[in-house]
Amino acid sequence: MAKKVLITGVAGGIGLETAKLFLAKGWEVIGTDIKEMEEALDINFIQGDISDEANSKIIFDSINGRLDALVNNAAIQLFKSLKELSIQDWHHVFKSNLYPVFFIARQAVELMKNNESSIINICSIHALATSMNMSSYASSKGALLSLTKSLAIDLAPFAIRVNAVLPGAID
């Protein structure tokens, strides 16, 4: 029986390349994204906005049995100065970059516990060292890094490892 991974933000960039790697290793891949897949992959793809908790629950209706890994990759970047940044922008970035990790991880625990499973949160170097016009993105990724640390402690008794990857700029 193939191991199973759920990857959010699977339609491009890091998510797409991560899916390809898991497929090459023989894993069953379930992927979700707000946008359509442009590249055809042999995965169970579910299109939807996981920043809405109700939509994130739909994913788990399609997962049968266990879940061995979760890659929380879905995110948006917003380049605006503090003066240009509206409260709606701020909420949108946090709702897109932080809330889905909470929603998805909370639902995944039951499918992952006691399987020696892993949750990998794709954070960003901006959580530690940022640049101009990135306050909302950097703050959301800093919060994600803190959430990752807390989840690692909370989920350790269930044999679920939780780690973050902090990539820099990518193509």
Q: Residue 129 and residue 29: Cα distance in Å, rounded?
A: 32
Q: At a CB cut-off of 8 Å and minimum separation 6, what does 1 contact? A: none
Using one digit for the tens of pLDDT, what is the confidence trace for 125-148? 888 999 999 999 999 999 999 999
Of 51-55, 57-61, 146-150, the range with the lowest mean pLDDT is 57-61
Which residues on adjacent β-strands are paired with residue 29?
Answer: 5
For the full predicted model, state whether its pTM sits above 0.75. Answer: yes
Using one digit for the tens of pLDDT, what is the confidence trace for 90-99? 999 999 999 9
How is residue 116 annotated by DSSP? T
The single residue of 30, 107, 137, 164 carrying the catalytic annotation is: 137
The two three-digit tokens of residue 63, written as one number: 């997962």
Interstrand relation of 28-33 and 160-165 (parallel, antiparallel or unpaired): unpaired
- Is residue 99 part of the annotated active site? The answer reads no
Secondary structure of 45-83 in HEC code, one letter for each residue? EEECCCCCHHHHHHHHHCCCCCCCEEEECCCCCCCCCCC
